[in-house]
Amino acid sequence: MKHIACLTAAAATMAGGILYVASALGQTDGDASPIYGIKIPAGYRDWRLISVKQLAGNKLKQLRAQLGNDIAIEAFREGKLPFPDGAIIAALHWNEASSELDNQVLAAGFPGAGLESVFAGSAVNVQFMVKDAKKYAASGGWGYADFTNGKPGDQALHEKCFPCHVPAKDHDYVFTHYAPTP
Q: Which residues bind ligand HEC (CB under 6 A)?
A: 53, 55, 64, 66, 89, 91, 127-129, 144-146, 153, 157-158, 160-161, 164-165, 174-176
What's the min distance (Å) between Cβ of 147 and ligand HEC?
A: 9
* CA dihedral (94, 154, 23, 142) positive or negative: negative
Which residues have CB under 8 Å from 122's CB, separation 6+? 94, 95, 97
Nearer CB in complex with ligand HEC: 112/163: 163
Nearer CB in complex with ligand HEC: 7/169: 169
Separation of alpha carbons 174 and 142, rounded Å: 10
Decide: 89 and 51 in contact? Cβ < 8 Å: no
What's the min distance (Å) between Cβ of 89 and ligand HEC?
A: 5
Nearer CB in complex with ligand HEC: 41/153: 153
The Cα angle at residue 98 between residues 92 and 68, in degrees rounded to 5 = 20
B/e letters for 54-65, b = 16+ CB within 10 Å, e = fewer, are eeeeeeeebbbb
What's the min distance (Å) between Cβ of 114 and ligand HEC?
A: 26
Nearer CB in complex with ligand HEC: 106/157: 157
Which residues have CB under 8 Å from 4's CB, separation 6+? none
What's the min distance (Å) between Cβ of 134 and ligand HEC?
A: 19
Nearer CB in complex with ligand HEC: 8/155: 155
What's the min distance (Å) between Cβ of 31 and ligand HEC?
A: 14
